[in-house]
Amino acid sequence: MTSKYMLLIEDNPDDVDLTLRAFKKANVVNPIQVARDGIEALEFLFGEGEHSGRDVDDTPQVILLDLGLPRISGLEVLARIRSDSRTARLPVVILTSSMEERDRMQGYLLGANSYVCKPVETEAFTEAVRELGLYWMLLNELAPTG
C-alpha cells in the first residue's frame, strides 16, 4: 500500500459500512484495509495465508480493533500484535461496543493505545469515527522503527 493507511478489524458489515462512510464524510481519504475476523487480521499483518508474500514492512498507520471477533478475539489479536517486534509499536485503538470494565482493563494491560466504546446512535458513531480518523491519520506521529 505504501501510503498511510488504516487497518479496520471488524466483523459486523453494518459497522464496517458506517465506519467507511464516516471517514469519507470527514474527508479522510487514506486507504482502509478491512479484516473481517482475527485470523484474517493476523494473516494480513504478518503476510500469511491469503496475504502470503505481502510486504509486512508496509504497516498501517493505525489499527481499529473490535473485540467481539469470530475465530480469534480482539484481545488475542492485540496480544499477538504486541508480542511481535514487527508490530509491537503500532497504534491500536479498540473500537468496540463492550462497556465491560474487564475488557477495558485487559485491553490497556495488553497495550492498547486507546479504548473507544462505539456509540449506538448513528450520528454519534459517525462523529466518533471521524475524530479517530483525523487524529490517528493526520495528527499522530508514529514511533520510529528499528
For 8-63, write each residue's pLDDT tens digit.
Answer: 999 999 989 988 988 888 888 889 999 999 999 999 999 999 999 999 999 999 99
Domain housing 126:
6-139
For residue 111, give the CATH number of its domain.
Answer: 3.40.50.2300
Percent of the chain with pLDDT over 70: 96
Query: Mean pLDDT over all residues of the chain?
Result: 89
The residue assigned the cell 491500536 is: 92
pTM of the model: 0.90
Count of the separate structural domains present in the chain: 1
Q: What is the pLDDT of residue 1?
A: 54
- 146 part of a folded domain: no
The residue assigned the cell 508490530 is: 87
Rounded alpha-carbon distances, angstroms, from residue 16 to 30, 54, 101, 102:
15, 23, 24, 25
List of E strands, 4-143: 6-9, 32-35, 62-65, 92-96, 114-117
- 16 part of a folded domain: yes
- 145 part of a folded domain: no
- Residues 6+ away with beta carbon under 8 Å from 99: 117
